[in-house]
Amino acid sequence: MTKRRSKRLSREQRLWMILLAGGFILILYFTLLDKWHERQEETVSSVRYEAFGIQLPPGYNIHGIDVSVHQGAIHWPSVYGMKEAETRMGFVFIKATEGLNDTDKRFHKNWQDAKEAGMVRGAYHFFLATKSGKKQALQFIRQVNLKKGDLPPVVDIEKLYGVKPVVMRERLKEWLKEVESYYQVKPIIYTYADFYERYLGDEFKDYPLWVAHYFQPDKPRIKRSWQFWQYNEQGNINGIRSKTDCNVFNGDSIKFKQILIP
């Protein structure tokens, strides 16, 4: 008597069906995600303001912003196209990484779109004093491909997180050394004026400084020289729904071009 073949799927066949179904679901997910992002950008392109909404410091010709995932979807042509009294936000620092493993969810899209819109772009790493400086540098290097005309790399150091200042400084030096060696350009340190004077000081005087200090009309209150000044965190920028940090460069267009990646 001939035995009937079992109609039950083999283990291998079931596995292939699961993989095919999973692949289909992933394709559908990313297709819908792309459409959602496109819709978000179409919507945010209509965000317009009468003016920047803040007092611009006098005597500076080169203005810019800094952003991260917290700004959400950004319509970069609107950002670059906004102009008030001959002032345009012409450069942007974009958050790239944080700690050992975190990459800003909007970094790569912001990085590409800002460049295409005509912005001079730069990338920054949010430094965690609790982690290895070298390993954090490698995380930044893996994600950030600097090209000719980009701003130098930036390390954002704001807190000790319970770490002793001497340990923080050693780890920060590791980051700076590794990044400078890789990109062949001196990185910029971003921090608050008070944090710099209290915890960094002369040990880091050879690095360019991007200093945050608000509510000062014409310059930040800090003793050492500085390259960029984040003077306000409440800017209204076309194409961005949330409030945005605003900055100026301490120099003219010739000096600005000189600091860009050659």
Give the active site residues. 66, 158
What tokens does 114 get? 């800002």
Helix 165-183 / helix 133-143 crossing angle, nearest 10 deg = 30
Task: Label the pairing between strands 63-67 and 87-98.
Answer: parallel
Sequence-distant (6+) residues with CB within 8 A of 28 are: none
Query: CA 17, CA 172: separation in Å to the nearest integer?
Result: 50
- Residue 33: phi and psi, rounded to 5, are -65, -45
Neighbours of 38 (CB within 10 A): 11
Dihedral sign for Cα 34, 147, 145, 124, please. negative
Query: CA 260, CA 251: separation in Å to the nearest integer?
Result: 13
In angstroms, what is the C-alpha Rg of the chain? Answer: 23
Alpha-carbon torsion, ordered 95, 201, 151, 45, to 10 deg = 40
